[in-house]
């Protein structure tokens, strides 16, 4: 038996990797671009030894060996340098000589990404491509009695409300008595969900903000964006564009020093305040910004030292119970802006969401409830949280809506749904389905990263290194060498592209359903699915 040298339990070959780099020696020019661009040094320039056996015809001369070398690509096989499949090598290669390909079997690497006893942490999303919303169809097509509308020429009003909406009786009472009515925002039903400056690079963040401002000011689309937990640049806080922004406060309170300082100088009120109690990608876990990304700018914004990891607690530590948390925190946030700004909580989808909902229903200030499903994304989390924790959004939002219907408050407390919306590219269809299941609006994160900035992540565990700030597209990196790859102007343009095309697609869905004058919230009679159990669970039509 040949000796193989010392073997470590975690000694792996390339065959054991999740991604195997296929390299074509004939096409390679040895330019070195791929090794330079690789964010994890998974490939490096290698010297390959090659033996050629020269056999002459006849028996007069003995065969000879010729030993030679050639230069080319080698793939690392240790866990820290495992290929992440981002494909940047392919992107930079002038001859298409290199490409990471999926291992045909389940890799062995996954059993070893816990060196030092640290379980795997990563960015990205749940590594499950299936999404129940993709199975839903819109089956109630208007035909003879109610002819379908023209998506291109009819007038549509695709707006939603964010804020506590008074019951009709109370609204009339307030009018009569000139009383206080909770602030309500008329916004576009597709919202860019919470992604902090810190999780995202400055260029990405700026691009998103510019895109949103353009949509509002030039296209007349009241699109809103949430800051995530990381504060907001002081200049934006003091600008008129802050009205397009939902400020998030989460359990780490990062960035709120700057926000409070800016309060007296703010020209406009923010759109709303989102209190984050949970996140779909890592339910029951607080936010996490790993030390790699806490540079001087981010540290200044968040009021922390540089180079330290910033794990937010799983819950708001000053709070004792849900009643107290909701009542006190919502009240405080309302007070900060003179009761002019809606305040609503965001929770991760959970089997206990109805308890939260019922609590909010009894709180006359709660401006809505955002529920984030298990397919949501994150900049950093434990792999186990991402892959195995959480609740799908579809049934959670449906239950919540039907629960509100039961108590007659379906219009008073708007629900916002997120978590995997458009994960397989079906943004408008997924969003319309959620709205018809009962959501007043939809939050997106990963989709906008993919569509507006070219994020490479996928449900097959591709890239997903947002946590360590090595994003090869510069989307989630705080390293100027990386984030300068991303031009904020280009991102802004893509944001506008995404929203305009979404708007057209949404109309192409609603027009055949005969809907145009209001968003079809709860129009579940339009939905069908070929899975009996899904149909039963969501209380929609079973169609085959």
Strands 378-382 and 121-124: antiparallel
Site for other proteins in 386-415 (CB under 8 A): 405-408, 410-411
**Cα–Cα distance measured from residue 199 to residue 330, given in angstroms and rounded to the nearest whole number:** 25
What's the rounded Cα separation, in Å, for the pair 492 and 486?
Answer: 11
Q: How far is CA 14 from CA 78, 81, 104, in A?
A: 9, 11, 12
Subset of residues 21 to 80 that bind other proteins, contact rule: CB under 8 A: none
Candidate segments 82-90, 152-160, 244-252, 425-433, binder of other proteins by CB under 8 A: 152-160
Nearer to other proteins, 259 or 524 (CB): 524
Nearest to 477 by CA among 309, 289, 285, 256: 289
Nearer to other proteins, 310 or 524 (CB): 524
Task: List the one residue from 95, 317, 352, 518 that touches other proteins (CB under 8 A).
Answer: 518
Q: Which stretch binds other proteins (CB under 8 A): 253-261, 302-310, 372-380, 513-521?
A: 513-521
Cα distance between residue 434 and residue 160, in whole Å:
13
Task: Quote the least distance from Cβ 239 to other proteins, whole Å.
Answer: 23
For residue 334, how many C-alpha atoms fall within 13 Å in the half-sphere facing its CB? 23
Q: b vs e for 461-482, b when ≥16 Cβ sit within 10 Å of the residue's Cβ?
A: bbbbbbbbbbbbbbbbbbeeeb
Do residues 412 and 454 lie in contact, with contact meaning Cβ atoms separated by under 8 Å?
no
Name which position in 147, 284, 303, 305 contacts other proteins (CB under 8 A): 147
Nearer to other proteins, 140 or 473 (CB): 140
Q: Is 515 in the site for other proteins (CB under 8 A)?
A: yes
Stretch in the footprint of other proteins (CB under 8 A) among 240-248, 254-262, 422-430, 523-531: 523-531
> Is the CB of 360 or the CB of 470 nearer to other proteins?
360
The two tokens of residue 241 are 């564009």
Cβ contacts of 446 within 8 Å, gap of 6 or more: 125, 376, 377, 420, 422, 423, 455, 457
User: Applying CB under 8 A, which part among 4-12, 370-378, 464-472, 516-524 lies near other proteins?
Assistant: 516-524
Residue 87 neighbours by CB under 8 Å, 6+ apart = 99, 100, 456, 462
Give the one residue of 27, 46, 130, 146 binding other proteins; rule: CB under 8 A: 146
Q: Which is nearer to other proteins, 28 or 524 (CB)?
A: 524
Q: How far is the CB of 23 from other proteins (least distance, A)?
A: 57
Contact 418, 435 (CB under 8 A): no
Q: Which of 52, 60, 65, 145 binds other proteins (CB under 8 A)?
A: 145
Binding residue count for other proteins, defined by CB under 8 A: 42
Instruction: Give, as ranges, the residues between 156 and 185 that touch other proteins (CB under 8 A).
Output: 157, 159, 161, 165-172, 174-176, 181, 184
Tokens of 53: 């056996």
d(CA 425, CA 123): 19
Shortest Å distance, C-beta 329 to other proteins: 24
Q: Residue 168 or residue 313: which is nearer to other proteins going by CB? A: 168
Q: How far is the CB of 410 from other proteins (least distance, A)?
A: 7
Among 104, 155, 218, 265, binds other proteins (CB under 8 A): 155
The label of the residue with tokens 């591709």 reads: 462
**Nearer to other proteins among residue 98 and residue 165 (C-beta):** 165
| DSSP label of 369 | E
Q: What is the 3-state secondary structure (H, E, C) of 384-426?
A: HHHHHCCCCHHHHHHHHHHHHHHCCCCCCCCEEEECCCCCCCC
| Least spacing, CB of residue 443 vs other proteins, in Å | 20
Residues 6+ apart with CB under 8 A from 475: 200, 201, 204, 449, 453, 454, 455, 466, 483, 486
Q: Per the structure block, which two tokens stand in for 447?
A: 């989709």
Q: Are strands 98-102 and 19-23 parallel, antiparallel or unpaired?
A: antiparallel
Residue whose CB is less far from other proteins, 336 or 397:
397
Q: Cβ of residue 291: shortest distance to other proteins, in angstroms?
A: 46
Min dist CB 223 to other proteins, Å, is 14
* Distance, CA of 533 to CA of 151 (rounded, Å): 33
In the window 184-203, what residues touch other proteins (CB under 8 A)? 184, 186
Least Å distance, CB 161 to other proteins, is 6
User: Smallest gap, in angstroms, from Cβ of residue 322 to other proteins?
Assistant: 24
**In whole angstroms, how close is the CB of 309 to other proteins at the nearest point?**
43
Looking at beta carbons only, is 307 or 408 nearer to other proteins? 408
Pick the closer one to other proteins by CB: 75 or 410: 410
Which C-beta is closer to other proteins: that of 41 or that of 517? 517
Q: Which of residues 125-144 bind other proteins (CB under 8 A)?
A: 140, 142
Sign of CA dihedral 142, 143, 145, 146: positive
Nearer to other proteins, 175 or 489 (CB): 175
Q: Which lies closer to other proteins via its Cβ, residue 184 or residue 354?
A: 184
Q: What is the C-alpha to C-alpha distance for residues 300 and 294, in angstroms, rounded to an integer?
A: 9
Among 42, 343, 453, 523, binds other proteins (CB under 8 A): 523
Question: Could you give phi then psi for residue 424, rounded to 5 degrees?
Answer: -110, 25
- Closest approach, Cβ 24 to other proteins, in A, equals 57
Contact residues for other proteins, defined by CB under 8 A: 140, 142, 145-147, 154-155, 157, 159, 161, 165-172, 174-176, 181, 184, 186, 405-408, 410-411, 513-518, 520-525
């Amino acid at each position: 038996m040949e000796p193989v040298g010392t073997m470590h339990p975690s000694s792996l070959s390339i065959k054991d990797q999740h991604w195997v780099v296929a390299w074509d020696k004939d096409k390679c020019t040895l330019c070195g671009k791929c090794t330079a661009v690789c964010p994890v040094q998974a490939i490096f320039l290698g010297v390959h030894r090659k033996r050629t056996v020269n056999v002459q015809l006849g028996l007069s001369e003995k065969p000879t060996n010729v030993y030679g070398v050639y230069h080319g690509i080698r793939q690392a096989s240790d866990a820290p340098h495992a290929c992440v499949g981002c494909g940047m090598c392919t992107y930079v290669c002038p001859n298409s000589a290199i490409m990471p390909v999926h291992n045909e079997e389940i890799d062995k690497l996954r059993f070893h990404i816990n060196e030092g006893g640290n379980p795997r942490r990563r960015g990205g999303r749940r590594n499950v491509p299936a999404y129940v919303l993709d199975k839903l169809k819109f089956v109630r097509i208007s035909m003879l009695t109610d002819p379908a509308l023209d998506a291109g020429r009819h007038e549509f009003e695709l707006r939603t409300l964010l804020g506590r909406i008074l019951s009709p009786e109370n609204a009339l009472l307030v009018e009569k008595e000139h009383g206080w009515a909770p602030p309500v925002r008329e916004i576009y039903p597709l919202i860019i969900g919470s992604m902090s400056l810190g999780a995202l690079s400055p260029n990405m963040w700026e691009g998103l903000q510019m895109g949103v401002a353009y949509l509002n000011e030039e296209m007349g689309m009241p699109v809103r964006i949430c800051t995530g937990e990381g504060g907001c640049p002081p200049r934006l806080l003091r600008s008129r564009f802050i009205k397009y922004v939902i400020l998030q406060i989460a359990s780490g309170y990062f960035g709120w020093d700057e926000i409070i300082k800016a309060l007296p100088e703010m020209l406009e009120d923010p759109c709303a305040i989102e209190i984050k109690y949970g996140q779909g990608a890592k339910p029951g876990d607080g936010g996490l910004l790993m030390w790699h990304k806490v540079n001087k700018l981010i540290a200044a914004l968040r009021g922390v030292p540089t180079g330290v990891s910033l794990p937010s607690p799983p819950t708001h530590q000053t709070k004792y119970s849900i009643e107290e948390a909701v009542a006190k925190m919502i009240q405080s946030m309302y007070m900060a802006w003179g009761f002019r700004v809606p305040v609503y909580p965001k929770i991760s989808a959970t089997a206990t969401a109805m308890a939260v909902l019922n609590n909010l229903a009894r709180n006359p200030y709660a401006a809505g409830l955002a529920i984030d499903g298990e397919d949501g994304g994150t900049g950093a989390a434990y792999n186990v949280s991402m892959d195995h924790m959480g609740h799908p959004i579809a049934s959670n939002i449906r239950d919540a809506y039907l629960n509100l219907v039961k108590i007659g408050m379906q219009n008073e407390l708007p629900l916002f749904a997120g978590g995997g919306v458009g994960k397989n590219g079906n943004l408008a269809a997924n969003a319309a389905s959620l709205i018809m299941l009962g959501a007043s609006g939809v939050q997106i994160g990963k989709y906008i990263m993919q569509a507006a900035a070219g994020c490479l992540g996928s449900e097959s565990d591709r890239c997903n290194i947002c946590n360590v700030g090595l994003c090869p597209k510069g989307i989630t990196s705080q390293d100027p060498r990386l984030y300068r790859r991303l031009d904020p102007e280009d991102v802004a343009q893509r944001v506008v592209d995404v929203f305009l095309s979404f708007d057209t697609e949404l109309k192409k869905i609603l027009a055949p359903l005969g809907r145009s004058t209001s968003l079809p919230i709860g129009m579940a009679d339009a939905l069908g699915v070929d899975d009996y159990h899904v149909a039963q669970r969501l209380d929609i039509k079973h169609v085959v």
